[in-house]
Amino acid sequence: MRERLGLNLEQTQKLIMTPELRQAIVVLQLSTLELAAYVQQELQENPLLELKDEEDTALTDEAADEHEAFEIDWQEYFQDGSDLGYVRVPREERPEWNYQNFLTGQPTLQDHLLIQLKITASTTRELEIGTFLIGNLDANGYLKISIREAAACLKVSPAAVWRVLQLIQRFDPPGVGARNLTECLLIQMQQRKDAPPAAEKIVRYFLNDVAAGRLKRVARRLNMSLPAVQEVVDYIRTLDPKPGRSFGGGEENRYIVPDVIIERVGKDYVVLVNDPAMPRLGINPFYQTLMRQEGSLDQATRRFIESKLNAAAWLMRSLEQRRLTLYRVVNCLVQEQREFLDKGLKYLKPLTMRQVAASLGIHESTVSRATANKYVQTPWGVFELKFFFASGVEKKGGAAAAKSIKKIIAEAISREDATNPLTDLQLQEMLQQQGIKISRRTVAKYRDEQGIPAAAKRKRY
């Protein structure tokens, strides 16, 4: 067999990941707040981009007719005066700032304790030791370092550290500075001084039994009646096992700006993309004037301006495409989850991204990017868009979403007789009577995911 060299002409189709396509993908998956920051970065890097008022947006359409001589990508964008379903309405005039809109940082647990320490510490050494110990408290108010380790770090005696720790353990909130759960509860009981006689003994020796619901064993070991043990346990549950959790972490507050709003108008629902949160972009007219003047620019400058024009046009096109895709996806969700919007969480239907993609005629990855990191405001509250893509189980006449089944389980348990709580088997039978085919193991899984203990732990005597 002889090998021969030759030239062959072949035509193939390939998908090339151009910078513009990559930008469109990035823009699509950003949330409203992230997109606003992205646009601000582009405004700083591209001199041809500028913010436009509502009155100025019409000027963008006129620029296309005056620049037909340039064969560049933004030409078609400017010729299309539509805004993909966006209805221009006059924006409400608001003051640029208001003192009522200023926020202050929430005081942390450490800040709260340091104020008390500065008032109660009698010496500079006590203040130094106390500051070190407060700095080693976790978010729940527990000390995460031993007295011996603290003494070694501060080069003082363990007795000095212990004295300051006892001082901190008398601070507000009650129970702060404890080294374990038992000590935390005992500190609170000492400060409240209203504990039942057997409370201290149960906290010291039977906390695991209380957590597991083994009250009969506690009653037998302490020679007490079950109602008496139940009364003591009820008191113990009024204590706070995490005294520091009522304080913020300084920068933990997060505010959600919904990307889409679903409003009910009569019997229908209207989808509104949250455009007011996004700045309106346009092309700087100064550079448009420069491009119209023949011979006023050298070749390198003209190429630079044309490249920035292309980049600006692609960004604005990507923003409009994002708005349209987001609108179409949410509008499809409204149609699919109409029963949820009408009646509430128990009527959420199982739905996959593949179903939405097939309905819209787009790729499943596009639906995934369009719903990533985005929130929607509905008549039932604010939800992440991916909340609507729920798995489910078979139901008579269709299927039931896992979230709706969890809601049914939680409501049934909230109505149960505490002296005879519903078991997982009884919950399974109740769901099957409603036409929901589900196993007992799945019922237990859904119950655990909601933080609801088993029937033995919920039982009261």
CATH number of 391-461: 1.10.10.60
CA distances from 243 to 84, 87, 139, 247, 304 (A): 53, 51, 9, 9, 61
C-alpha pair distances (Å), 9 with each of 2, 6, 12:
22, 10, 10
| Cα 234 to Cα 24: distance, rounded to the nearest angstrom | 58
The per-residue DSSP string of 20-43 comes to HHHHHHHHHH--HHHHHHHHHHHH
The SS3 call for residue 12 is: coil
Reading the chain (461 residues) residue by residue, the pLDDT tens digits are 567 777 778 777 766 666 667 777 878 888 877 888 888 888 888 888 887 765 554 444 444 444 444 444 444 444 444 444 434 444 445 455 555 555 556 788 999 999 999 999 999 999 999 999 999 999 999 999 999 999 999 999 999 999 999 999 999 999 999 999 999 999 999 998 888 989 999 999 999 999 888 999 999 999 999 999 999 999 999 999 999 988 865 455 567 788 899 999 888 999 988 876 566 788 888 877 777 777 667 788 888 888 888 888 888 888 888 889 999 999 999 998 898 898 888 888 888 888 899 999 988 888 888 888 889 999 988 998 888 887 766 666 666 778 888 888 998 998 888 888 989 888 988 888 888 888 888 888 889 888 888 888 888 87
Could you give the residue range(s) of every CATH 1.10.10.60 domain in the chain?
391-461
> Contact, 373 vs 418, CB < 8 A?
no
Q: Strand pairing partners for 50?
A: 282
Residues 6+ apart with CB under 8 A from 395: 434, 435, 436, 437
Alpha helices of 361-436 — where are they, by DSSP H? Answer: 364-371, 402-414, 424-433
347: which DSSP letter?
G
Alpha-carbon gap, residue 167 to 445, rounded angstroms: 44
Helix (H) or strand (E) holding 288: helix 285-292
Instruction: Count how many residues are written for the chain.
Output: 461
Cα–Cα distance between 275 and 141 in angstroms, integer?
43
What is the C-alpha to C-alpha distance for residues 160 and 151, in angstroms, rounded to an integer? 8
